[in-house]
Amino acid sequence: MTAQTANDTLSAARGTDMRRVRLQLLSVRVFIYSALIVWAFVALFPIYWTVTTSFKTAVDVTQGHLIPWVDFIPSWKGWRSLGLSPDTIFQTSTVRIEFLKRFANSTIVSVGASALAIVIGSLAAYGLSRFPYKFGPLRNKDISFFFVSQLILPPVVLALPFLVLYKGLALLDTRIGLTLLYTLMVLPIVIWIMRDQFMKIPIELEEAAMVDGATVWVAFLRIVMPLALPGMVAAFILALVLAWNEYFFAALLTSTNATTLPVMVASQTGSQGINWWSMAALSAASIAPLVLVGLFLERFIIQGLMTGAVK
């Protein structure tokens, strides 16, 4: 074989290679996009179903009608039952008053709890990721595990002891009581997520600052916090969703003043069947603020949890 032919075969091979690579790239693209679209459908369809159900009469639900104006005529049924449809919005409506009160409570309690959990959880996570603690026989990983183990007990069982405790502390049916409880509930998640975050931030940054004479707290607040802030936003959103949807404690520990939305959603069923439309409307109305939060803060979630990429 001469050098010439060898070269020819090589370039020919390269040509087919290029084609194959391009073909491969194309098929990878096709695969990626079809997978994305399939999953987007899986994620969206039930939500689409929920939102459209709030505009359906019973017969449209029980016959599985799917597309508005094509196989059913949308009506304001679900929203009217909440007093939130165009024709009822200016009339008195006990349901709307109740809904708005609960909406406000849910907002105050879940935002308050998430914020509190972020503050004390981030501090703890930073400590656990940077300094070795000894708490009796417990080391750092034991302390982390202590926090996460608070998540394990089913709330059904904890609710009654909390009823007794809160009765003693006069915290029953108060927003502050519920806020503290939800803080406890989301704290472990915040700590675990933030601990991973802080571990990814190179320690040299703080050491450099401390060589310049900064204390640990100054180094934390000035150097680490800004880097981890987006991560906190991400943890905040996850905490917010969990607190927003909490049901068992709310059902037992609130009466009049601190009632939240999930109990009202559950109220749409009972021994008299179910009001599909109003449950759908309530579900849609209570997911809406979370979606908005998600839309506005989404980039923080992703950036947030990727602070390690700061190099």
Q: Which of residues 2-31 bind another protein (CB under 8 A)?
A: none
CB within 8 Å of 65: residues ≥ 6 apart: 56, 71, 72
Torsion angle of C-alpha atoms 294, 300, 306, 307, degrees rounded to 10: -150
**Which CB sits closer to another protein, 108 or 218?**
218
The angle at the Cα of 105, spanning 103 to 109, to the nearest 5 degrees, equals 120
Any contact of residue 306 with another protein (CB under 8 A)? yes
Instruction: Enumerate residues 146-165 that contact another protein by CB under 8 A.
Output: 146-165
Instruction: Enumerate residues 77-136 that contact another protein by CB under 8 A.
Output: 81, 88, 91-95, 98, 120-121, 123-124, 126-135
**Least distance between another protein and beta carbon 122 (Å):** 9
**299 conformational bin, left if phi > 0, alpha if psi -120 to 50, beta if neither:** alpha
The number of beta carbons lying within 10 Å of the beta carbon of residue 180 is 19
Closest CA to 125 of 307, 261, 280: 307
Any contact of residue 178 with another protein (CB under 8 A)? no
Number of residues that bind another protein (CB under 8 A): 147
First to last CA, the chain: 52
Span of 3-11, 15-23, 32-40, 221-229 interacting with another protein by CB under 8 A: 32-40
Return the residue of 26, 35, 89, 225 that touches another protein, per CB under 8 A. Answer: 35
The pair phi, psi for residue 72, each rounded to 5°, is -155, 155
Return the residue of 85, 108, 223, 247 that touches another protein, per CB under 8 A. Answer: 247
**Least distance between another protein and beta carbon 253 (Å):** 10
Q: Which helix (H) or strand (E) holds 12?
A: helix 3-53
**Least distance between another protein and beta carbon 263 (Å):** 6
**Least distance between another protein and beta carbon 99 (Å):** 9
For residue 90, the SS3 value is coil
The two structure tokens encoding residue 166: 């809160």
Location of structure tokens 């947030």: 304
**Least distance between another protein and beta carbon 221 (Å):** 12
Closest CA to 254 of 154, 174, 184, 180: 174
Instruction: Enumerate residues 205-224 that contact another protein by CB under 8 A.
Output: 206-207, 210-211, 215-217, 220
**Least distance between another protein and beta carbon 141 (Å):** 8
**Least distance between another protein and beta carbon 229 (Å):** 14
Return the residue of 47, 89, 104, 221 that touches another protein, per CB under 8 A. Answer: 47
Span of 9-17, 107-115, 221-229, 257-265 interacting with another protein by CB under 8 A: 257-265
The two structure tokens encoding residue 296: 């506005």
Q: Which helix (H) or strand (E) holds 143?
A: helix 140-149
Return the residue of 100, 108, 227, 238 that touches another protein, per CB under 8 A. Answer: 238
